[in-house]
Structure formats: C-alpha cells, structure tokens
Amino acid sequence: MDSLMIGVSGIRGIVGTSLTPELLTRFALAFGTYVDGGRVVVARDTRTSGAMIKHSVLAGLLSAGCSIVDIGVCPTPTASLMITELGADGGVVITGSHNPIEWNALKFMGAGGICLSEAEGRRLLDIYYEGNFTAVDWSGLKEVEVNDSALDIHIKRVLSNIDVALVRSKRFKVALDSCNGAGSVITPRMLEALGCTVVGINTTPDGLFPHNPEPTFEHLDGLVQAVKDGRMDIGFAQDADADRLAIIDERGNYPGEEYTLALAAKHILSTRRGPVAANLSTSRMLDDVAAKSGVPVIRTKVGEANVANAMKDNGCVAGGEGNGGVIDPRTCFTRDSLSGMALILELLAREGRSISSVIASIPAYAMCKMKFPCARGKVSKVLAAARKNADTAVINDQDGIRLDWPDRWVHVRPSNTEPAVRVIAEAPGADAAKALCDKYMALSQSAAEAPNGKG
C-alpha cells in the first residue's frame, strides 16, 4: 500500500512520512475554500497523532475564513450528527478509521453530514491542485468554538429511536471492544443507559491500539474470550472511529461483519416499512430480509456517500455496507456503530431469543474476496472479459460488473483506493463461492495481462 493516498473520499497517509503538517494545512485550506469560509465541525479519533493533525487543519480552515466548532474526540457518526444539529456547512473528521496506528486521515463531509460524493470530492481536489485558495487577512480570522455536548447529543438521538424501557428490562450482559478508539467513552455510557452490564476491554481512549483496529475475526480473540468467560449475551467490536460494528454471539462465534447490517435492517423493517440501500458488494442476506417485508433493495456503487445519497433520494428506512456499517437515517446519514448496537439489542429484546438463534433465522451464504494489482488503463479489458463470460447472469454495470444468478453473484470492480481490481463472490457454500471467485479472478488477470487489442 502506498504511504499517501489522495482521492475523492479524502486523504490518508503515514504520519511523519507522507502525512505532513504542510500537506494537511493545504488540504484544510482547500476545504475551507470549498465551503466558502463557512462554519465547519472538526472532530478526531483517539490516535496519538490527532492533536498535531487537528492544529494543522485548524490553521488551514481559519486561513480560509472559516468559523470552527471543535467537538473534540468523538466517533465519526457523532460528527455527522453535529453538522446537521448545528447547521454547519461541512465537517472534517480526523481519523485513520480501520488503518493501523501509524496511519491517519482526513474525511470530509458536506452540510448534510454525508461524506463528499465523487463529484464533490473531485471539486475539492481541483481546488487543492489548482491552489486557488480563499485567504483572509487578520480582520477576517474567526474564533474556534469548543463544544463538549456532542457525545450526549448522539446518545440521546440514538435512544430516541428505540424502546429504552424494553431493552432495559432484559438486563443484557454485553462485552465491548472499542480498540481504545473513539467509541471508548460514548459506547459504555450508551449501553449502560440501556440497562446493560458492560464488560469493556480496550476502552481506554488513549489511541494505543491493542490490535489492528479493523473489526474482523482475526483481531477479536480478546473479545471472543471475554464473551465466553463472562457468559455474555453478545459481544460488540468497533473500529477506531466507531462507524463499523462487528458481533460475537453468546457462544463466542463470529458470524461475520455482513450480519450487522442484515440484523439491523431486519429489526427496522419489523416496525417501519420502506426501501433499504446497500452497495453492490454487500451480501444478499439483505435482499432476503427485505423480501420478507416486501420492500426493495437499492444497490449503489461502492462508497459510503453513494449509499447515503441513495437513501436520502429514495426515502430509505435503513441502509449501510457489508463491512459492519449501519446507517439509520433517524440518527445521521453515515455508518454508526451505536445505532447498530441499539437496534440489535432491541431486536433481541423483542424476539426474546439469543443472538445466535436470530442469526440462524437469516439465510446463510459464504463470501470470497480477492484482488490483484491492475493499472487503471487495463480495467476496461477486465470488465469486458467479465461481461463476455456472464453466462446466464443478470448484468449490472453500475460499478464495474456484477453478475447475478438465482442463488449467487460475483462482483468485479476497480478499487477506489489503490490500482487494483477486486473480485468478490457470494454463494450458498464456501466451496461454491471460492470456485466462482477463482473463475472470475483468473479471467480478469488473463484479460489484464493480454496484449493490447486482445483478451
């Protein structure tokens, strides 16, 4: 992975190597110009590099004439909520998300609390590269307002969407791994407000991650053990900025991140009818859940902003991504692990059964994910090869090529973050999913390696 990535979704790099104060200030100046010197919410996760980066960002925003609301260390969804709560013109969240501790990044949001779309991101990049910045003199510099109410507002908003008394009556025992990230303070407080007994591991907000912050199975040994040792009802894991959520069932099993959205959507649809949205690489479990309620699933290009904007445009009652990202539009239009937890706990309370039993009620699939390096100029040949070998599949070319059969699918698409092609397949069993992934991986690589005009 390159040490600096600049794209429409933001900028990320390794602190002290590629992510320098000069670069950060220039990007913040570009964003300040983008929002025309408006009001900007600034937040960060717990990484030890956060303070340095925040001050670099503040310098750039102030130079562009922005007024700033500093909401301190808090989850990304908290920042999204506060942008709309305060009527701000945008926001900058300083977070390396699921990346290792040496990384950090800037995530930009618009006035609706939604990450910038591809078109909006390109406009910001144009300002950055052209260097045509707004710059005010001494008389145009504004104050930095510190607002310490963000965590309370977020908890209150999440709880307003569920039956708190019902959840409290169940007295759930919950194990929590916040990876010492931005969820470390707010999440135990919210769970305790729901009457849960919380056993927290890695809930010290010092940014010293005890494991890789991506909430996938190989990183959650400690949480699995905490669930087993404490005979907990459920285990929850967050990434560093608390927008993604993974689940451990009461037996210590990890069902996979894809279940987070399926479970949350299942519960929302039991009380509210409407379409749901997800990207093209998200499990068809969501389609099964939606079909039971007789509502459509709107599929979008990969990218959180694409899902959020589709939700807003189509009046969706739920949405998200298969990486553990749940979007409840009643709270905010970004992935929110706190909303995911509250919804899943209310689901358990209403159904009166264990999380493993609820999971077993959703049709299960196996997913296989692969990728290979591929220059941008060769992507069209790769996609043409996938289309040529579609067999009897239904073709969706909204984002690369997705091929759907009655009980399985494969998605071949260029990566948004690196010069690579991703191949993702899902089928009823692991062997079938791998065979499908292997087939289209081989076809894709062969097309990429073929001489010009062939393949």
Long-range contact set of residues 383-390: C-beta below 8 Å, sequence gap at least 24: 383/412, 384/447, 384/455, 385/443, 385/444, 385/446, 385/447, 385/455, 386/410, 386/412, 386/440, 386/443, 386/444, 389/439, 389/440, 389/443
pTM of the model: 0.94
How sure is the predictor about 66, in pLDDT bands with cuts at 50, 70 and 90?
A: very high
Name the architecture of domain 366-449: 2-Layer Sandwich (3.30)
User: What does the domain layout of the chain look like in residue ranges?
Assistant: 4-148, 153-360, 366-449
- Does pLDDT of 1 surpass 50? no
- Edge-to-edge, what's the strand order for the sheet holding 276-279? 297-300, 276-279, 318-321, 325-327
Which pLDDT score, from 0 to 100, does residue 36 have? Answer: 97
205 contacts 180 by C-beta, under 8 angstroms = yes
Average pLDDT over residues 40-62: 97
Fold of the CATH domain 153-360: Alpha-D-Glucose-1,6-Bisphosphate; Chain A, domain 3 (3.40.120)
How sure is the predictor about 125, in pLDDT bands with cuts at 50, 70 and 90?
A: very high
Task: Provide the pairing of β-strand 90-94 with 67-73.
Answer: unpaired
Which pLDDT score, from 0 to 100, does residue 2 have? Answer: 60
84-107 confidence digits (pLDDT tens): 999 999 999 999 988 889 999 999
How is 343-381 classified by DSSP, letter by letter? Answer: HHHHHHHHHTS-HHHHHHTSPP-EEEEEEEE--GGGHHH
Average pLDDT over residues 172-182: 98
Catalytic residues: 97
How sure is the predictor about 450, in pLDDT bands with cuts at 50, 70 and 90?
A: confident
Q: Top-level CATH class of 4-148?
A: alpha beta
244-261 confidence digits (pLDDT tens): 999 999 999 999 999 999
What does pLDDT average to over the chain? Answer: 95
The CA angle 295-309-363, to the nearest 5 degrees, is 35
Q: Do domains 4-148 and 366-449 have the same CATH topology?
A: no
Which pLDDT score, from 0 to 100, does residue 452 have? Answer: 67
Which pLDDT score, from 0 to 100, does residue 455 have? Answer: 52
- Does pLDDT of 419 surpass 90? no
What gap in Å lies between CA 238 and CA 212, rounded to an integer?
Answer: 11
